[in-house]
């Protein structure tokens, strides 16, 4: 790679990365309610966005929020690997990062046990089939994952869960740097990575329309912890 990695304009990266999709806000809200991230009433009654002030309360809710994001990432990379439309270094990344994200899902489910939220249904609207859309989406997902874990880390009570979350946080940052380099942008854009609130992260996920249904058949209903 030449000496020309440039800062990436990440505004709208995700929305540009995905094909136009019908609005599935209701499906997303049902999924978020199932994940214990918003009140079920909001999913049923409110056509608006998820509670903007609604950070997950307590370690179990935080871990379920993390699990929801890991489900999203794991399903994304798993589908990329299954479809086999992505080539080169990006395909290698998808394979290895997919292994990591599935491991994160397994680890979180193990920690949460019966309290683990179910995997939502996803539709990636072509982002797993086009090289450019894949790379842009993966950059956005990984940077989002880093900011999401960073936003929750100081809110975690249990030192064990905190150590676990920090360990995943660093791996997500490694993924982010790797995919950014593949995208031709600076892997570490700033000296300080900023956190993101759950409200922000979920609004971004909402904007992708990637979550199309609440749960799969093998799932368990969600709890707020």
Partner 1 sequence: MRGIQLSQEPEATSHTASRRAVLSGASLLAGGILVGGIGAPALGSGSRLGDAEILNFALEMEELQSALYAQALQHANLTGELAQYARVVGGHERAHAAFLRETLGSRAKPAPAFDFGNAVTNSDRFAVTARALEDLGVAALDGQAPSLTKLSLASVATIVSVEARHAAWIRDLLGELPAPSASNPAQTAAQVRAAIRRTGFVKGTA
**Residues at the site binding partner 1, with contacts judged by CB under 8 A:** 1-3, 5, 8-14, 96-97, 99-100, 103-104, 107, 140, 143-144, 146-147, 150, 153-155, 159, 162-164, 166-178, 181, 186-197, 200, 204
Beta bridge partners of 6: 185
| Cβ nearer to partner 1, comparing 12 with 48 | 12
| Cβ nearer to partner 1, comparing 125 with 150 | 150
CB of 132 to partner 1, least distance (A): 17
CB of 102 to partner 1, least distance (A): 8
CB of 87 to partner 1, least distance (A): 18
| Cβ nearer to partner 1, comparing 44 with 132 | 132
CB of 33 to partner 1, least distance (A): 23
| Cβ nearer to partner 1, comparing 42 with 204 | 204
Of the CA atoms within 13 Å of residue 112, those in its CB half-sphere come to 28
Q: Got the DSSP string for 45-88? A: H--S-S-TT----SHHHHHHHHHHHHHHHHHHHHHHHHH----H
Beta carbons of 221 and 132 less than 8 angstroms apart: no
| Cβ nearer to partner 1, comparing 16 with 45 | 16
Which residue do the tokens 């990062």 mark? 97
**Residue 217 region by backbone torsions, left for phi larger than 0, else alpha for psi between -120 and 50, else beta:** alpha
Evaluated on CA atoms 149, 155, 160, 162, the torsion sign reads positive
CA distance 151 to 200: 10
| Cβ nearer to partner 1, comparing 23 with 192 | 192
CA distance 77 to 80: 5
CB of 90 to partner 1, least distance (A): 13
CB of 35 to partner 1, least distance (A): 20
Q: Got the DSSP string for 17-53? A: HS------HHHHHHHHHHTTSS-HHHHHH--S-S-TT
């Amino acid at each position: 790679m030449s000496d020309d990695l440039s800062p990436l304009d990440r505004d709208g990266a995700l929305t540009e990365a995905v094909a136009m999709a019908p609005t599935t806000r209701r499906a997303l809200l049902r999924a978020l309610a199932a994940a214990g991230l918003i009140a079920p009433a909001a999913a049923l009654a409110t056509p608006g966005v998820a509670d903007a002030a609604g950070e997950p309360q307590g370690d179990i809710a935080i871990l379920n929020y993390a699990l929801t994001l890991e489900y999203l990432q794991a399903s994304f990379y798993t589908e990329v690997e299954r479809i086999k439309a992505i080539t080169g270094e990006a395909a290698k990344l998808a394979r290895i990062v997919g292994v990591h994200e599935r491991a994160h899902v397994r680890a979180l489910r193990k920690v949460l046990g019966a309290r683990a939220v179910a995997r939502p249904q996803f539709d990636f609207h072509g982002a797993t089939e086009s090289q450019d859309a894949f790379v842009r989406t993966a950059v956005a997902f990984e940077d989002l994952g880093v900011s999401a874990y960073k936003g929750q880390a100081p809110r975690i009570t249990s030192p064990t869960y905190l150590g676990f979350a920090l360990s995943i946080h660093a791996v997500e940052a490694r993924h982010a740097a790797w995919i950014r380099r593949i995208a031709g942008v600076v892997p570490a854009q700033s000296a300080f990575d900023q956190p993101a609130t759950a409200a922000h992260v979920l609004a971004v996920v909402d904007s992708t329309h990637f979550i199309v249904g609440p749960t799969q058949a093998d799932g368990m209903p969600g709890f707020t912890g």
